[in-house]
Chain A
Amino acid sequence: MRKSGGEILIDSILKEGVDTIFGYPGGAVLPIYDALYESNIRHILTRHEQGAAHAADGYARASGRPGVCLATSGPGATNLVTGIANAYMDSVPLVAFTGQVATSVLGKDSFQEADITGITMPITKHSYLVKDIRDIARVVKEAFYIATTGRPGPVLVDIPKDISGARVDYENPGPVSLRGYRPEQLPSSRRLKEAADLMAAAKRPVIYAGGGVVSSGAYRELLHLAELILAPVTTTLMGLGCFPGDHPLSLGMLGMHGSRYANYAICECDLLIALGVRFDDRVTGKIAEFAPRAKIIHLDIDAAEIGKNVRVDVPLVGDVKEVINLLVSNLKAKLPGAWQEQIYLWKKEFPVYYEENGHLKPQQVIQEIYNITKGKAIITTEVGQHQMWTTQYYNFTRPRSFISSGGLGTMGFGLPAAIGAQVACPEAVVFNIAGDGSIQMNIQELATADNYNIPVKIAIINNGYLGMVRQWQEFFYNRRYSFTELVNPDFVKLAEAYGAVGIRVTRPKEVTVALKKAMAVEKPVVIDFVVEREENVLPMVPPGEALGKMLG
C-alpha cells in the first residue's frame, strides 16, 4: 500500500503503543499533521513547544511509558531544547519528533532551519536525521527501543518535509539490530557475593535510593531488602516515593535540603548501599567528606555512573530490580540493634518543623494539600523553595507520585508536567505546587488545560520573590536582594481569563476551604496562596560543605 512519510510515521508510533502526542504544528510538519488528522492517536495542542516537551515528560514519569512530543523545524525545534535537556538529566524516556526543512535546502540556512540534531547531541541519548522515507519505520522502532531500555532518556528524530511528504509502497521494517547497544547487563557472581558479604557484616547500613529504583520498578524489592537487613532508606529528589515515606525505616530525602537524620545517617553509616543514583553534588555536599566511614556498594544500570564522582568498593552494573532479587537470595534477616535505635532517636529529636505565627506559611499549605489528598495525589512542582518544602511536608508513599525537575532544575516544568500526568492518569488528583516566579514561565499552558478540560490544581506559593535565590542572597550575599523581588499579575484574574477557577488565600484558616473547593470542581483551578514572604527552607547544607554541617 502506498503511504506518505507522515502516515508511516504515525503508524509506526501507534505500533509502539503510544496513545497521546503533545505537539505544536508548523510548516515543516504539515505532512505529519495531515496524517494525524484522521489517526487514532490523541494529539494535545500545547501553547508552547516547551510545554509539549514537559507534558510528554510528565506523562512518562506518571505512567512509566515513553512520552512523545512533536514540533516543527527551527524555532519549534529549539523551543523543545529545555524540555529535552530536562528529560535527559532525569533519565526520562521521551521521543521527540521534529520537522526539518526539505533535504534539497538542508544546510543552506533556509527559512526555519536549525541543526536540531547537532544542537541536541549533548542532551539526547541518541538522535536521527531521516534522509530516506524507507528508514522512517525502522528509525521509530529504534528510537523507542533506545529511549525505554537501559538507562532511559530522550531520543530525537528529525524528519525533513520532503521525506514526510513523499509517498512510497509501505513495507514493515525487518528486525532491527543495534550493534553497539547492549542495555542489559548483570554483575558477576563474585561481585554479588562481595556485596552480600558487606551487607551481612554491616553494623550501620544505609540505603541511598534514587530515580533508578523508580525506572526499574523495584519498589517491592527495595522494601524487602531494607526490611531484611534493617537498613534505613534515604532517597534523592528523584527517588521520593520509591520507598514509603511513612515507614519506620524511612529517612526522607538527603542532601542540601535533606532531613537532619538522613544526613547524619550518611555521616555515620559503615555501609552505603547506593541504588540507581548518581552522587549529584546537591546530594553529596563536599564530596571528600561524603559517607566518610562507609564502604560503598553502587548498583546502577549505567556503568559510567559508577566511580564517576566517588570511589566505590563494590560496583554492580545492572537493573536495580533484577540485581536486588539476586542479592536477597544470599541474605539472612537481621535483628534490630543500636543503629536502628539511633535512627529512631534522631528522627524523634530532629523532626522537620516550622514555626507557626498566625500568618500564612508555605509549609502549612503543603501539609494541608497532603492531608486533603490523603497523600494519594500526583504532585508536580516547579523549582525553588516551594519545591523543597514539598519534599519536606508532603509525605510520598507511592512511586511516580512526585514529579519534579531534579537534574536540570527547570522553572516552568511543573504546570505542563501536571497536564501530562493528568492525561496519563485521568482518575488521579494532580496538583502542581508552584512558585509565583516559576508558574509564569509556562503559564500559557493554562489554555491547554482549559481547552482539553484537564482538571489540574495549581497551588501557587506566592511569596513575591524568586524565593530560593532570595534565600541565598540573604545567607551568602548580605541580604542584597538583587532582582529577586517580583511584581506579579493578579493570579486569580489571570486564571479566570484562561477559563480556570481562581481562588485567593491569605490567612491560615482559609486553606482547607479553598482546597476543598478546588477538589470539588472538575476544572483546572489556580489557588493563589499569599504566604509569608521571607520564610526560608531549612535545614540547609551550605554549598560545598559536608552534609553534617547543616544550618537551621
Chain B
Amino acid sequence: MYHTLTVLVANSPGVLYRVVGLFSRRGFNIDSLAVGQTENENVSRMTIVVEGDALILEQVTKQLRKLIDVIKVSNITAEEFVARELVLAKVTANPAQRGEIMQIADIFRARIVDLGRRTLTLECTGDEAKIKAFEESLRPYGIKELVRTGKIALLRGSKYAGVNNIKEEAL
C-alpha cells in the first residue's frame, strides 16, 4: 500500500541527505519525493510517497521523527487532501499528428509549452490517475522524454500540518 507523508524539515544543509539516507539504509522504498520551501523560509516541506505495510509505515514515521532536522511528520493518507503532480512530456509529432495531440492536450487541460520541428512539449498537472492516463494517451505517438515532479499534497479545508502549530524546544 502507498502512503503519503508530508514532512516539515529545517532548511539546513544536508537535510535531504539525512532523510534519503534514512530510507535507503533501513530499506524503506520511496515511490516519489518532492521538496520545496514553505511559507516560512527556514522550513521546507517534503512530500514523500512510501510503499509498505502498516508496520513499515510506523517505523518510517518514527525514524523520521528522530532526525533532529525533522520538525513534523504527518501521514495524510487517510485524510482528505489535495495532491498534484506536474509532468513535462516531449512527444514525436510530425505536422499531420499535431492536431490529434492538441486535442489530447485539451481533454487533459494540458498546455503546449514548446514546439520543435518534429516534437511537441506538453505540460500537465493533476493527480496520479490523471497523469497516468495522460501519459498513456501520448504513448502511441512516441514519448521521447518525460519528467515528473513527484507528488505534492496539502490537507483540504482549514486543517493543516503546517509550521505554526509547532512547539519550540527551548534549552
A residues contacting B by CB (< 8 A) are 117-118, 121-122, 125-126, 129, 141-142, 145-146, 175-183, 302-304, 307-308
29 contacts between A and B (CB under 8 A): A118-B14, A118-B17, A121-B14, A121-B18, A126-B67, A126-B68, A126-B69, A129-B13, A129-B14, A146-B68, A175-B170, A175-B171, A176-B171, A177-B168, A177-B170, A178-B169, A179-B71, A179-B169, A180-B65, A180-B68, A180-B71, A180-B72, A181-B68, A182-B167, A183-B169, A303-B65, A304-B62, A304-B63, A307-B58
Q: In the complex, which residues of chain B have a beta carbon less than 8 angstroms from the beta carbon of A145?
A: 171
Q: How many A-B residue contacts, CB cutoff 8 Å? A: 61
For A179, the closest partner residue in chain B by CB is B71
Kindly state the separation between the CA atoms of A125 and B68 in the bound complex, as whole angstroms. 8
Per-residue 0/1 for B100-141: is the Cβ within 8 Å of any A Cβ (1 yes, 0 no)?
000000000000000000000000000000000000000000
When A and B form their complex, which 8 residue pairs have the shortest distance between CB atoms, in order from nearest? A304-B62, A180-B71, A176-B171, A126-B68, A177-B168, A179-B71, A180-B70, A178-B169
The winner among A142, A180, A304 for most chain B CB atoms within 10 A is A180
- Scan residues 68-111 of chain B and give those whose CB is less than 8 A from a CB of chain A: 68-72
Q: A176-B170, A180-B65, A308-B59 are in contact. List 18 more A-B contacts (CB 8 A).
A: A121-B18, A126-B68, A129-B13, A141-B171, A142-B171, A177-B169, A177-B170, A179-B10, A179-B166, A180-B67, A180-B68, A180-B70, A181-B169, A182-B167, A303-B62, A304-B65, A307-B55, A307-B59
Kindly state the separation between the CA atoms of A182 and B63 in the bound complex, as whole angstroms. 14
Could you tell me the distance in whole angstroms from the C-beta of B26 to the nearest C-beta in chain A? 9
CB pair B171 A302 closer than 8 Å = no
Q: In the complex, which residues of chain B have a beta carbon less than 8 angstroms from the beta carbon of A182?
A: 167, 169
For B167, the closest partner residue in chain A by CB is A182
Please tell me if B142 contacts chain A, counting CB pairs below 8 Å: no
Could you tell me the distance in whole angstroms from the C-beta of B164 to the nearest C-beta in chain A? 11
Could you tell me the distance in whole angstroms from the C-beta of A302 to the nearest C-beta in chain B? 7
CB pair A121 B170 closer than 8 Å = no
Q: In the complex, which residues of chain B have a beta carbon less than 8 angstroms from the beta carbon of A179?
A: 10, 71, 166, 168-169
CB pair A180 B17 closer than 8 Å = no
Kindly state the separation between the CA atoms of A118 and B18 in the bound complex, as whole angstroms. 9
Q: In the complex, which residues of chain A have a beta carbon less than 8 angstroms from the beta carbon of B21?
A: 121-122
Q: In the complex, which residues of chain A have a beta carbon less than 8 angstroms from the beta carbon of B59?
A: 304, 307-308
Kindly state the separation between the CA atoms of A179 and B73 in the bound complex, as whole angstroms. 13
Q: In the complex, which residues of chain A have a beta carbon less than 8 angstroms from the beta carbon of B159?
A: none
Kindly state the separation between the CA atoms of A307 and B62 in the bound complex, as whole angstroms. 10
Name the interface size band of chain B. 20 to 34
Per-residue 0/1 for B147-171: is the Cβ within 8 Å of any A Cβ (1 yes, 0 no)?
0000000000000000000111111
Kindly state the separation between the CA atoms of A122 and B171 in the bound complex, as whole angstroms. 25
Q: In the complex, which residues of chain B have a beta carbon less than 8 angstroms from the beta carbon of A180?
A: 9-10, 65, 67-72
For B70, the closest partner residue in chain A by CB is A180
For A127, the closest partner residue in chain B by CB is B14
For A145, the closest partner residue in chain B by CB is B171
For B68, the closest partner residue in chain A by CB is A126
Kindly state the separation between the CA atoms of A374 and B35 in the bound complex, as whole angstroms. 60
Q: In the complex, which residues of chain A have a beta carbon less than 8 angstroms from the beta carbon of B66?
A: 302, 304
Kindly state the separation between the CA atoms of A302 and B10 in the bound complex, as whole angstroms. 21
Could you tell me the distance in whole angstroms from the C-beta of A56 to the nearest C-beta in chain B? 21
Q: In the complex, which residues of chain B have a beta carbon less than 8 angstroms from the beta carbon of A118?
A: 14, 17
For A144, the closest partner residue in chain B by CB is B171
Kindly state the separation between the CA atoms of A477 and B171 in the bound complex, as whole angstroms. 55
- Scan residues 29-71 of chain B and give those whose CB is less than 8 A from a CB of chain A: 55, 58-59, 62-63, 65-71
Could you tell me the distance in whole angstroms from the C-beta of B41 to the nearest C-beta in chain A? 14
Q: In the complex, which residues of chain B have a beta carbon less than 8 angstroms from the beta carbon of A125?
A: 68
Could you tell me the distance in whole angstroms from the C-beta of B66 to the nearest C-beta in chain A? 6
Could you tell me the distance in whole angstroms from the C-beta of B19 to the nearest C-beta in chain A? 11
Contact of A178 among B18, B65, B68 (CB under 8 A): B68
Q: In the complex, which residues of chain A have a beta carbon less than 8 angstroms from the beta carbon of B67?
A: 126, 180
Kindly state the separation between the CA atoms of A146 and B66 in the bound complex, as whole angstroms. 11
For A142, the closest partner residue in chain B by CB is B171
Q: In the complex, which residues of chain A have a beta carbon less than 8 angstroms from the beta carbon of B10?
A: 179-180
For B66, the closest partner residue in chain A by CB is A304
For B69, the closest partner residue in chain A by CB is A180
Kindly state the separation between the CA atoms of A126 and B21 in the bound complex, as whole angstroms. 13
Could you tell me the distance in whole angstroms from the C-beta of A157 to the nearest C-beta in chain B? 13
Kindly state the separation between the CA atoms of A117 and B100 in the bound complex, as whole angstroms. 53
Kindly state the separation between the CA atoms of A303 and B59 in the bound complex, as whole angstroms. 9
The winner among A125, A178, A182, A308 for most chain B CB atoms within 10 A is A178
Kindly state the separation between the CA atoms of A176 and B169 in the bound complex, as whole angstroms. 8
Kindly state the separation between the CA atoms of A121 and B13 in the bound complex, as whole angstroms. 13
For A305, the closest partner residue in chain B by CB is B62
Q: In the complex, which residues of chain A have a beta carbon less than 8 angstroms from the beta carbon of B68?
A: 125-126, 146, 178, 180-181
Kindly state the separation between the CA atoms of A519 and B139 in the bound complex, as whole angstroms. 82
CB pair A117 B65 closer than 8 Å = no
